[in-house]
Structure 1
Amino acid sequence: MEKLAIFDVDFTLTKKETLMELYKFVVFKNFKNIRFLPRALFSGLMYSIKVYDEKRVKESFLKFIDKIHEEDLDNLAKEYYSKVLKKILYKDAIDMIKKLKDEGCKIYLISASPEFYLKELYDIKEVDVIIGTKFRVENGFFARQMDGLNCKGEEKVRRLKEYLKENNIEVDYKNSYMFSDSLSDKPLLDLVGNPYLINYKKKNDFKVLNWK
């Protein structure tokens, strides 16, 4: 049986929200992309008043890369990782990944953020599996449509178990770990014997680690 060390990404491994950082990076590359900011703000407002769900918010927000060729999207993701994403990782998070890998855990990153750029985190040699929100590519072009459900909450557990079943992996959950900054990950936190919240300030029933 395998021991897992599962990590959320945004504000667990990273100091900032990765999708917004991607947008800022695209604006920096070409300031004309600032024209998509009103759409992003509107989508956020609609979500805050419960008119949009997270799926619709993400599909709307990603207009700034709509219909980009798959190869160009891959190149953008690689550049974003090297210039931004790898520089906003918590050192303590990377140290924990290395420590638990040395102790025999398989390292899983499971996030609601888009998988098309999260996959660049395989650059961290200890990472074994990355599961994120999927988006469709149609005829070689990014379609801005979510492929399946937003990978959050119970969906993270479903996607994890789907992967384990497909690969005939049995897990020692009692001796596995889960790290997240949010109680939205309670389904995964409850799944393992060693759950931790990261930089969490409110009262809760989990152990809290403060990462920098």
Structure 2
Amino acid sequence: MKPSIAFFDFDGTITTKDTLFEIIRYHKGSGALYAGMTLLSPALVAFRLKLISTQRMKEMVFRFFFGGMRVEAFRDKCAEFCTERLPGLVKENALQAIRHHLAQGHQVAVVTASAEDWVKPWCSSLGIVCIGTQLEVRNTLITGKIHGLNCNGPEKVERIKQAFDLNGYDDIYAYGDTSGDRPMLAIAKYGYFQKF
């Protein structure tokens, strides 16, 4: 009998809110978050008008808040975030679903558009896999660019297939809450949209 696997989106599925803004707040403070978003507001308007891609918008945000930061210091602070702030953002019923899958011997992976830096430490604490957007690092510094593609939409499926041979699994479960999760839900035998 083949094993089973469950894929979970992160922001909005496992968490109550988008963690990008929360990680910025945790690193820089609320004042810096609001000031930065005000300065970035012309780009945000262009993004809402679909004149700027999601990847381009995210790179502008990453570069503004974290560009030039030493990656080791960034990841240390992200690990603190996973211990101190993130547990308060996790939906209890989503966490129960993860634990239910683990109790049944299923493999579990979080597949997220958020950067792995502030999701992977939390996943590791549960013994589950993290597949997420990867930030570009040069000479130990964060550039603000995304390495490869933003892990959303069809890219979630591509990244899943790079990490797992889906033919080796019996039942495939997937949980998501936005249109960016639809391709991932489509490859599952049991796909759940906005379950939590």
Per-residue CA deviation, residues 43-77 of structure 1 (Å, 9 max, x unaligned), is 32111111110111001011111111011111110
Q: Cα RMSD between the aligned structures? A: 1.8
Matches within 5 A, 1:94-113: 94-113=95-114
Instruction: Please show how residues 43-192 of structure 1 align to structure 2 within 5 Å.
Output: 43-62=43-62, 63-127=64-128, 129-164=129-164, 170-172=167-169, 175-192=171-188
Return the alpha-carbon distance in structure 1 between the equivalents of residues 112 and 15 of structure 2.
Answer: 12
Question: Which structure 1 segments of 5+ residues have no match?
Answer: 199-208
User: Which range moved further: 43-52 or 103-112?
Assistant: 43-52
**1:205 matched to which residue of 2?**
none
What is the DSSP-based 3-state SS (H/G/I as helix, E as strand, rest coil) of the residue aligned with 1:195? strand
Q: Among the aligned pairs, what percent are the same residue?
A: 24
Greater relative contact order (Cα < 8 A, sep 6+) = 2
Structure 1 residue 32: Cα displacement:
4.9
- Number of residue-to-residue matches in the alignment: 194
Amino acid at match of 2:18: E
Deviation of 1:9 after TM superposition, in Å, equals 0.2
Equivalents in 2 of 1:126, 1:25: separation in Å?
24
Name the counterpart of 1:195.
Answer: 191
1:103-153: CA deviations, max 9, x gaps? 1210000011111211122244241x1010111110011111111111111
- SS of aligned partner of 1:21: helix
Q: Which amino acid aligns with 2:73?
A: D
CA spacing shift, 1:171–1:47, aligned 2, 3 Å: farther
Once residues 98 and 65 of structure 1 are traced to their aligned partners in structure 2, the CA distance between those partners, rounded to angstroms, is: 33
Q: TM-score, normalised by structure 1?
A: 0.84
Maintained 8 Å contact 2:26/2:81: yes
Q: In structure 2, how many angstroms separate the alpha carbons of the residues matched to 1:186 and 1:136?
A: 27
Counterpart contact for 2:111–2:132, Cα < 8 Å: yes
Q: What residue is the counterpart of 2:5 in the other structure?
A: 4
Q: Distance in 2 between matches of 1:123 and 1:6?
A: 15
Structure-2-length-normalised TM-score: 0.91
Residue number in structure 1 paired with 2:36: 36
Larger displacement relative to structure 2 (143-152 or 179-188): 179-188
- SS at 1:145's partner residue? strand
- Structure 1 CA distance, aligned partners of 2:10 and 2:42? 25
Partner letter of residue 192 of structure 2?
Answer: Y
Return the alpha-carbon distance in structure 2 between the equivalents of residues 119 and 184 of structure 1.
Answer: 20
Contact 2:25–2:32 (CA under 8 A) maintained in structure 1: no
Q: How many Å apart are 1:185 and its aligned residue?
A: 1.4
